[in-house]
Structure formats: C-alpha cells, structure tokens
Structure 1
Amino acid sequence: MTQRSRMAAAMALVVVVVVAGCSETSENKKQLAPLTLKEQASSIDKSSNGYLVTWAGVLGNANRWHFGENAVALISARDGSGKEVLRMEQPLDAVPPGRSLAFTGQAVAKVKPASVKIDYRPASWHPAARIPSSFRRFPVSDVATEQLEPGSYLVTGYISDPFRKVANSLVVTALLHDEAGRLLGGGTTFVDDVRAELKRRFVITASGVKGKVADTDITVRTWGATAKPYEELVAGGTVPVNVTKPTTKPFAKDRGYPPIGDRRP
C-alpha cells in the first residue's frame, strides 16, 4: 500500500469515528419531555360518611411522536397538622402525542383535610404508529351546562366517531372554568358503542365546583392505559369529511368570469 493510500485510509477512519461519535452524542442528548401538570383544582365538602374530596387535573404531553402510557395520578390530602388523611392512586388513560389528558375523580376522607395535592407517576413512552394528524379528535356538539344546585352542574352533549371502526368505549370529561379561565372542577363519564353515522349522548354530573362557571371544555379520549385502542381506530381508516351530496340544483350557466377566449353564450 502506498503512502498516499495509507493516509486516505487513516482519514476515512477518522471521519467514520467522528461521525459515529457525533451520532452517539446526539442520540444520548435526545430525551423525551416528561408529562406536565398544566391545571389542577380540588374541593372538600362534608358528606354523610366523612369528607368528600373532589379533584380535576390536566396533564400535557409535549412529545409530538409519542404516547404517554401507564401514567398514574397521585392524590393526597393532609389535615391541619400535616398528617396524611387520604391517599389515592388513579390510573390514567394514554395521553396522545402533543395533546393533553383531562381527568377527574373523588374519594372520601374520614378526617377533614386542610389541603389537597395532585401529583403523578411518570409515563412510559410508546412511539405513535401513524403521523400525529392521523389521530383525529372525536367531534363534540350541542354541549349544555346547567346548574343543579350550588357547587353541582349537569353537562350534556353529543359525540361521534371520526373513524370507520366502532369505538367500543370512550371517556368523556367536562372541565368547568370561570371567566378568568381558572379551572373550577369537572366530571367524567363513559360512552360505549360510538359510531360515525350516529351521535351518542353523554351526561356528566360535576360536583364540588367552587365558583361561577363561565365556560365548559369537553375532551374525549379512548379508554385504556396504552395507545392500542386509538391506534386500532386509526388503522381502520377515517370517515371522509363533507360527504353529503349538495341539495341545490346546479346553475344553468356558470356565474363566474369566463376564461379568456371562451365564446360560449
């Protein structure tokens, strides 16, 4: 091998090592962002068998290409002396890529709590099987919010399925906000057998709401700690948008400007 060949081989080896090192460093630096607790609200009310603790929260997933799976909300309450009087673990549904997960719940404490804290266990990450835009949102319509009594609201509306495959079970959560956008509370229900061609009604009772409600936000998600239910719906295909045939008759003559040189009457 000539001196020039040896030098060329050595340079190629250096380039390979440098590129490999850069690639490895870049891969090590690439980390998924953890879920973040974007909003939370809680309330404490006297009940017949103790104190009813009600909570609502929103977890955000900033990762555009990964589902957050198997996350668990941790709810704890302490009395005036700092002693823990309630501790709950609430398994959460999968958080879609680049979206948020709204959750609500309630539990009874035997001793009156003075404070409530919402935390969560980190999620495990699952790469999305399709591009994020494939995971279409579930349409919501005709939402109505009615106050039943102080602190209690009834939220109703309709949801439908944007996918060809029937959604066996969906989770519908209503979050109630005041005029300033502050979260006041909410409630959750399940709706089964949701189809594209038929709207399904949901009814949610939200209790423990402290403050005047000015806005209701409805979120719909697949039920389950993993991305599998959502991905199965997407794999079945989506329903075309605006497939209804026009009801008006076609114009006898085009009312637009004719192309240059068009001499039709």
Structure 2
Amino acid sequence: MTQRSRHTTALALALALAAAAPLGGCGGGGEQGPKRPQLKPLVIKEQTSSVTQGTGGYVVTWAGVISNPNRWYFGENVAATVVGKDAAGKEVVRMEQPLDAVPPSGSLKFTGQATASARPVDVKLTYKPAVWRQATRIPSAYVPFPISSPNTEKLGNGSHLVTGAVGNPYQKAATSLVVTALLRDKDGRLVGGASTYVDDVHAGAPRRFVLTVDSLNGTGPVARTDITARTWGSSGRPYEELAMSGAISANGARPRTPPFARDRGYQAMPVDRRP
C-alpha cells in the first residue's frame, strides 16, 4: 500500500467514526429523549399511631405527613403498610393502605384505621416507594383547596368533632375530594387525625364536611387542627385535569360601584416655567 493510499484509508475511517459517534450516544438514531433528573424519595415528615379498646377488638389508628421534594413530578402509587405486634412479638394486625398521589413540591396528610384481635404494643408504618410521573403544569397551577369555617369540638367521650367547608378554586367541578384533619397538642406534636370524603364540589359553592377523631396519641388537650383537602386516587391526573381547567381569580368578582368619572391615578406634569 502506498503512502497516499494509507492517508486516504485513515481519513475514511476517521470520517466514519465521527459519523457513527452521535448515533451511539443518542441510543439508536436520536429517539431517546433527555435523561430524567435524579429524583429524591418521598420524605416522611411525621407519623403517629394509637390503640384503643373497641367492640370487636382493638382499634388501631394512625396519621402521617409525607412530602414530595421534587418540583416537577407527581409521586404516584404510594402505599403504607401498617404492622402491629403484641407483647410476645406476634403479629396481630397487618394492613396495606394505598395512598393518594403526592403533588409536586407538596405534601400528603393521611390517616387510617384497622382492627386487631389482640392488643398491639408495637405499631410500625413502612412505605412503598413512589412511581414518578412528570407534571404537565407548572407547580403554581396546583392551587390548594380552601377550607372555611373550621371548628374543632371536644366530645364527652374523649373524641373530637371537626367541621367546616371545603371549596374548589378551579373552573371545573371536583368530583371527589378527601378532607383530612390532623390534631396537634400545644407543642405542635401530631396526636391523631381522621379523614372523610366530599363529592361534587363546584366553584363558588363550598361543601360542608363532618368527621370525628375517635382516639388520640397522648392525653394533653388539642391546641390546633390542621385541615387539608386533596384529590382522591393514586394518580395525579384528577388534580391535573382541574389545573388544566384554570383557577378562578381570587379578585374575579365584578365591581359593585360605578366607574370613576375621572381616573384618580392621573396627574398632570407641572409646567416648566424656568427662564
């Protein structure tokens, strides 16, 4: 092979490698999209449980708060597993509770209840990792559901009655919402909670809710009640459908006074009378 032939062959190989390199990096013709960022796991912010004597056994109740540190992703198909063991270490209750979707940069407040045949002395909650799905709207589009007229009343049997109304800030009606009330002591510690469902909530027409918190973890008085509402289901699509319909402006009411005859914000510039 002559010197000229060797140079020609080397040049052809270099051009071929340069052309093939982008194809190999894109994973087959560039069809693969950008890599998903490294997502952080859900964070268990708070959790509590309590056991009380019931008519058919022992009632185990629990409450918790999970937060989503990822700004652009829904945490879906989350589940909590509750296991209770008696003094001998025997498992007396086990329940897997599917949880609702956790919105981007949001939190999930949840409660649950199960019945055990024997009294558990050790109750533990574990969580199944979330399945992540990218949100179709910016985080600010997921407006929280407003709670009005909240009230917590202590009943004679030690339970607490929580009432109020939940509104819908979106133009589309919310078919089903979950209302959760978490009770706290004077130090802000979570001591218990309960949840209920409210259906067919239209904008401008808040729906009343009533729920009862039967047992608490601790004997101190309840100092504060945190009430939130969320869409029901393991997927974030119901929340996204509401966000896609658009939120109603808080100042969207029509003015009730006649317009000004003259714009009060108008001010003429003074005439420059300098020589």
The bucket for the TM-score relative to the shorter chain is 0.7 to 0.9
Following TM superposition, by how much is the alpha carbon of 1:245 offset from its aligned partner in structure 2, in angstroms?
2.5
Matches of 2:158 and 2:110, distance apart in 1: 18
Matches of 1:244 and 1:76, distance apart in 2: 51
Following TM superposition, by how much is the alpha carbon of 1:141 offset from its aligned partner in structure 2, in angstroms?
0.9
TM-score, with normalisation over the residues of structure 2? 0.83
Structure 1's consecutive aligned runs of 4 or more residues displaced over 2 angstroms after TM superposition are: 245-262
The aligned counterpart of 1:77 is 84
Residue 78 and residue 255 in structure 1: after superposition, are their counterparts in 2 closer, same or farther (change >3 A)? same
5+ long unaligned stretches in structure 1 = none
SS in 2 for 1:149: coil
Matches of 2:192 and 2:136, distance apart in 1: 34
Matches of 1:53 and 1:176, distance apart in 2: 16
RMSD of Structure 2 on Structure 1 (CA): 3.0
Following TM superposition, by how much is the alpha carbon of 1:241 offset from its aligned partner in structure 2, in angstroms?
2.2
5+ long unaligned stretches in structure 2 = 27-33
> Which residue identity is paired with 1:205?
T
Q: Is the counterpart of residue 136 in structure 1 residue 150 in structure 2?
A: no
Matches of 1:144 and 1:133, distance apart in 2: 28
Following TM superposition, by how much is the alpha carbon of 1:59 offset from its aligned partner in structure 2, in angstroms?
1.1
The aligned counterpart of 1:233 is 242
The aligned counterpart of 1:160 is 167
The aligned counterpart of 2:31 is none
Following TM superposition, by how much is the alpha carbon of 1:61 offset from its aligned partner in structure 2, in angstroms?
0.8
SS in 1 for 2:239: helix
> Which residue identity is paired with 2:232?
W
SS in 2 for 1:202: strand
TM-score, with normalisation over the residues of structure 1? 0.86
Give matches, 1:117-136, under 5 Å. Answer: 117-136=124-143
Matches of 2:158 and 2:124, distance apart in 1: 20
The aligned counterpart of 2:226 is 217
Following TM superposition, by how much is the alpha carbon of 1:255 offset from its aligned partner in structure 2, in angstroms?
6.3
Following TM superposition, by how much is the alpha carbon of 1:257 offset from its aligned partner in structure 2, in angstroms?
8.2
Following TM superposition, by how much is the alpha carbon of 1:40 offset from its aligned partner in structure 2, in angstroms?
0.7
Residue 234 and residue 176 in structure 1: after superposition, are their counterparts in 2 closer, same or farther (change >3 A)? same
The aligned counterpart of 1:147 is 154
Q: Deviations over 1:31-89 (max 9, x none)?
A: 21111211111111111111111110111111110001111111111111222111110
Following TM superposition, by how much is the alpha carbon of 1:189 offset from its aligned partner in structure 2, in angstroms?
0.4
Matches of 2:249 and 2:183, distance apart in 1: 32
The aligned counterpart of 2:193 is 186
Following TM superposition, by how much is the alpha carbon of 1:203 offset from its aligned partner in structure 2, in angstroms?
0.8
The aligned counterpart of 1:86 is 93
> Which residue identity is paired with 2:73?
H
Matches of 2:251 and 2:263, distance apart in 1: 23
Matches of 1:76 and 1:92, distance apart in 2: 16
Identity %: 52
Q: Who wins on radius of gyration, i.e. which is larger? A: 2
